[in-house]
Every structure is written in structure tokens, then in C-alpha cells.
Amino acid sequence: MLAFGRELTSHHLEAHSPPARRGARLMDRVTESFLAEFVEEHELGGMPADKKFEHFAAFIAVRRHYNGEAFSTEEIHTGGAGDTAIDAIAILVNGSLVVDVESLSEHSDLSGHLDVSFIFVQADRGAGFDGKKLSDFGFGVKDFFEPKPKLTRNDAIKNAAEIMDALYKNGTKFRPGNPICRLYYVTTGTWRQEPDLEARRAAIDADLRSLEIFRDVSVQCIGAEPLQQLYRQTKNAVSAEFTFSNRTLLPEIAGVSEAYIGFVSASEFLSIVSDDEDELLASIFYENVRDWQDYTAPVNDEIRETVLSSKKDRFVIMNNGITMIARTLRALRRDRFQIEDFQIVNGCQTTHVLFDCRGKADDSLQIPLRLIATQDEEVIKSIIRGTNRQTKVEDDQFFALTDFAEQLEDYFLALPETYRLYYERRSGQYSRLQTVHATRIVAHRNLVRAVGAMFLGVPHQTTRSYQSLRESIGKEIFAKGQRLEPYYVAAYGLYKLDVNFRTQRLDSNLKAARFHILLAMRLLANSDPLPRMNAHEMKRYCDRIQKVLWDNTKADNLCAKAAKIVGRAAGGNFNRDNIRTQPFTERVIALCQNAGT
């Protein structure tokens, strides 16, 4: 491994780094209030102050690039002994947050390509930037990518490195190029671009680029003011302003405030769908049933050929165009519009091709656009269904739009506030509501896993074989006529289990087997035979488990007892190859049954 920073090593620069002023206030009032709000929403009150700030910084840095399903910062936090000066690592693959190496095959198999970003965070709640910490952070990140790392790693770093290794072994699938590497050094101070600190930052950037395994590297030092701005952005819906001159207002439609059909220039369209850092806004595609298919889909090759050809002016009459739904639309002046909380529900493939060819797309290229402004969920659902009829019904994102999923969301909301959870049918629908604790938001994918583990008895399929579990949607789970109670019980059981991990009542080593613990919790709380998912008896069966889960003391004892049984089944070996197998599941079931005799 090259000496970090070449001539600008931490030893050469350490003496020149300005120390933080004595007596300096650690945190300004605004940042302090934002941190307090975050801690409350994510139920992190029991953590030490430095750990709270690490989670805060990690959330903000990752949310800048990821607006998908609700996630827990526990999944990306790495801070502690053996953290190699890295407090958090997030790995984004095709717009999804990947926290487990087993789930990689799902992203690769579904799309055939891998668009990867690595996000690293170092957080210091002090009111200044420390040159040595910055250099150590950069050294730790570079060591993370070394085939033979020199630094001692904790389990969280090892897990992230395992994902990284698996990704680079599939490097032929990288699109549109090698991964992006982003580093965020976050403090509550002010970045003044002091020469010595800037030299360290530039050295980190140069050394990471020298590895020649990234298409881009970004090293950012974030102080209090930009940190506050980024936190505010996590609370705001995505918005855009654009010129829409060539449009026709459609006649009045029930449930729709306004609707237009027309066309916009390529540059205008790209300004809507990309951010200030020239990244495609992944969050605007979550209601589009089909993900980006890369150029393995022949139609995408044809779109690209047209965009790059001398006949690009025909694109407007050859392409089906883009269907965009905005929950807020404002006319600013003449032909200028502002849209907020918008989604592309049809045209994902076209948008990705246009973005990929953005350097060669001039304004002779016109994009057909259908713009619909509505806040009516029924209208939105019908548009998505109507514009995606060709999509296979197995897609779990599509099932999130069904009547059953809507009934499920309503059922969760109808429960007493103390025990209420929020089933997120539409990605991000609850994330900006200050009245909703982030820990109580149930992502659709996590609910599928929880129900699969707890009521189908297949916790070993929740990650490694998630694709097969997903195929049961609409058949064994999320099927019309099934009881709603088991879905809530599974979600609330997972919530209580996560509380026990977050408060360190349970050893973090057990996290690899958390879905096995969830199954054990059901078997211990109710040893009666499991009724069918659509049987009336299922309500009584779940009520018994729910009564335990709603009692904090009993719930904590249940989690502890279930974890102990899973630990016995593991025999101290929490390696995923041991845990995530059917024989291990069978051992857990047998031990639970014996515990009740």
C-alpha cells in the first residue's frame, strides 16, 4: 500500500494543524436542536453523546444520496473499537441500500448491472476540524479497499468489506462505470479551507484516485452550516423548477388538480431529474414498477441509438415519453413551473438513457411529457397500474399498490398511538412527518422478511433467498382475504427486537440471526398450532402474542429468551453460512418446542 498522502503524511502535517480553541462551544444551538430532534425520532436517547452525533452525521450523509425505504442507522454505523477511523459505511447498489452480502445477487439478477456508490462518514461533535482525524479517516478508507488490509477491523467494517469484495468480483457488471467513493468528515465547526487541512483533504482524494477503482472520488468536510442545510433537506420533498412552454392543459379530471401533455427540451428535462451534483435522482423512480434494465433490454439500445443519431429530432414522435405525477404543482410565471414530491411512474428506461447520454443530448431532442398534479392516492394508484400493465404481477413494489396493502396500512394506523407502526407502501411517505418516529416506519421489504420469518417459518430465506420469499407475495403472504393481525405482530415483534439491539440489551453478534430470533419469539409466546393466514383463529393466535409484545417487560424477557435459544442453536458460531440455512432454522424450532415442554 502506498504511504498515505505520499509526502503529505499525517506525521508531516500534524504539527501544523490548528488546535480547537479552548473553551470553544462544542455545538451551536441550531445544530443541537436538530440533533435532539433526530435522537427523539430515531429513539437513540440511551446512547452517549458522541454516538448520537455519529448516527446523526451518518443519516444526513446517506440521505443526501439515498431516498429509498426507511432505514436504521444501526445498519450502517461502524464506530467503536476497530472502526479504522470510520464511523459509518453505506453501500448503494442500483439505488438501494445494501447491508448484507447475500442480498447482492438480488440486485444483480434483477437488472443485470451494478451502479455502486460507497459512502464513508467520520463524525466529530467538536467545534473544529482536526488534521490528524482527517488523515486517519482517509487512511482507513484507503485501507478498506486494500486486498491485504493493515488495520484491525471490527465486525461492522468486516461486513461492509465483504460486500465490497463481492461487488468488485462482479466488476464486469459495473454501470455506468466503476463505483463512486464519497467521504464525509463532519463536525460542528466551520471549514475555512486552511492550507494544511486542505492539503490533507487533497492528499486523501489523490491517494484514493490512485487506486484506479473509482469513476469519481469526493472528499467533503462538512461544518455546522452545511450540516444544518443537509438536515433540512431530509425533511423536504424533492422539488424542481422548469420551463414547460409546449403544453396543452387537459380537461378537468376528477381527483386531479391539473394535468398537461406536451414536450420539453432534453436539457430542461435533465434539470428536473438530476441534482446539483449531477446525479440522477433515484428517489423519483420508487413508484415506477420496473427498475432500470440497463442496455440488456433491446429497447434501451434502440432509445440510445435514436438519441445519439442525426435523427434525434424524431424522438418526440417515436418515444412514448414520460409520465410524471406531482403532489404539488405551481405556476410561477408564464411558462415556468415548480413541482414538489414528484415521481416518474412511466419512463424510467427513457430517463436513464437520456441521463446516460446527457453530454451528447442537445435541444433538438424533445421529450414527450405527461404531467399530472394530484394528491389523491386512488388516482395515483390507478395511473401507476394503467401505465405499467405490462409488468409482471410478482413485483413486490407493485403489490404495495394493491387493496390488501392499503388495508394493511390503515390497520396499522388504527391501532393505539403507543403501539402504532406505519407501513410504508410508498417509499418516503412518512419520513418527512415530524410526528412519526423513524424507528416506527415499516419498510415494505422488512415487512415481507418479518412475516416470512415469523409466520412462514423461513428466516433463512430473508436475505440469502429473498427472491424466493418475494415470489410468495400474493400467494402465501400479502394475499387477498388473509388476516391483517399477523402482519402487525411480525412488524411489532421486529420493532421490539430492534429496540433491544439498539439499547444493547442483546449482543450485536446476534444481529445476523435476528429473523431467527423473531421466529423463536412467536414459538415461545404461543406454542399452539399455527392457523392458516386467512383463518378466523389467526386473530386469537396473534392476540396472545400481541399481549406479550405490548408489555415492555414481558417483551424484553421474550426477546432475551428467544435470543438465548438462538445462541444455543448457533453454538457460538454466528457466521452467516451457519446461521442462514434450513438446518439451523430446524434446530431453533426444535429448541423452542422443547422449551415449552
pLDDT digits (tens, 9 = 90+) for 95-106: 889 998 888 876
Considering only CA atoms, which of 479, 485, 490 is closest in space to residue 402?
479
- Give me the DSSP letters along 365-398: -EEEEEEEE---HHHHHHHHHHHTTTS-TT-HHH
d(CA 263, CA 248): 10
pLDDT cut 70: percent of the chain above it: 91
Residue 1 has pLDDT above 50, yes or no: no
pLDDT, position 433? 78
pLDDT, position 16? 40
Around 42, how many Cα atoms within 13 Å sit in the side-chain half-sphere? 25
Of residues 196 and 383, which shows the higher confidence score?
A: 196
Residue 13 has pLDDT above 50, yes or no: no
Task: Detail the DSSP E strand segments found in 155-215.
Answer: 180-186
pLDDT in tens, 405-435: 889 999 999 999 999 999 988 777 787 777 8
Task: Detail the DSSP E strand segments found in 406-534.
Answer: 422-424, 441-443
319 within 8 A of 303, measured Cβ to Cβ: yes
- For the ranges 72-76, 384-388, 476-480, 484-488, which has the lowest average pLDDT? 384-388
593 within 8 A of 523, measured Cβ to Cβ: yes
400 within 8 A of 444, measured Cβ to Cβ: yes
Residue 368 has pLDDT above 80, yes or no: yes
The Cα-based distances of 491 to 128, 159, 397, 404, 547 in angstroms read: 42, 25, 18, 16, 14
pLDDT in tens, 430-472: 877 778 999 999 998 899 999 999 999 999 988 766 777 777 8
How sure is the predictor about 572, in pLDDT bands with cuts at 50, 70 and 90?
confident
Peptide bond before residue 195 is cis, with ω within 30 degrees of 0: no
pLDDT in tens, 209-238: 999 999 999 999 999 999 999 999 888 888
The Cα-based distances of 344 to 270, 283, 380, 456, 530 in angstroms read: 13, 9, 11, 34, 42
Q: What cell numbers appear for 541 in the block?
A: 393466535
d(CA 512, CA 495): 16
Which residue type, as a one-letter code, is found at position 520?
A
Q: What cell numbers appear for 48 in the block?
A: 452517549
pLDDT in tens, 78-123: 999 999 999 999 999 988 899 988 888 766 665 678 999 999 999 9
Residue 14 has pLDDT above 90, yes or no: no
548 within 8 A of 525, measured Cβ to Cβ: yes
d(CA 368, CA 266): 10
d(CA 269, CA 281): 12
pLDDT, position 22? 39
Residue 585 has pLDDT above 50, yes or no: yes
**Strand bridging mode 216-222 / 180-186:** parallel
How sure is the predictor about 517, in pLDDT bands with cuts at 50, 70 and 90?
very high
Residues 6+ apart with CB under 8 A from 503: 46
pLDDT, position 398? 63
pLDDT, position 592? 97
Partnered with residue 263 across adjacent β-strands are 246, 368
Instruction: Give mean pLDDT, residues 587-597.
Output: 89
427 within 8 A of 67, measured Cβ to Cβ: yes
Residue 20 has pLDDT above 70, yes or no: no
How sure is the predictor about 386, in pLDDT bands with cuts at 50, 70 and 90?
confident
Instruction: Give mean pLDDT, residues 377-397.
Output: 67
pLDDT, position 397? 57
DSSP state of 1: -
d(CA 160, CA 211): 19
Measured on CA atoms in the order 222, 270, 352, 338, is the torsion positive or negative?
positive
d(CA 548, CA 89): 35
Residue 318 has pLDDT above 60, yes or no: yes
256 within 8 A of 374, measured Cβ to Cβ: yes
pLDDT, position 340? 94
Of residues 261 and 9, which shows the higher confidence score?
A: 261
515 within 8 A of 571, measured Cβ to Cβ: no
CB atoms within 10 A of CB 196: 17
Task: Detail the DSSP E strand segments found in 429-554.
Answer: 441-443
- At CA 404, angle to CA 399 and CA 410, rounded to 5? 115
d(CA 411, CA 425): 13
**Average pLDDT value for the chain:** 89
pLDDT, position 256? 97
d(CA 86, CA 81): 10
How sure is the predictor about 337, in pLDDT bands with cuts at 50, 70 and 90?
very high
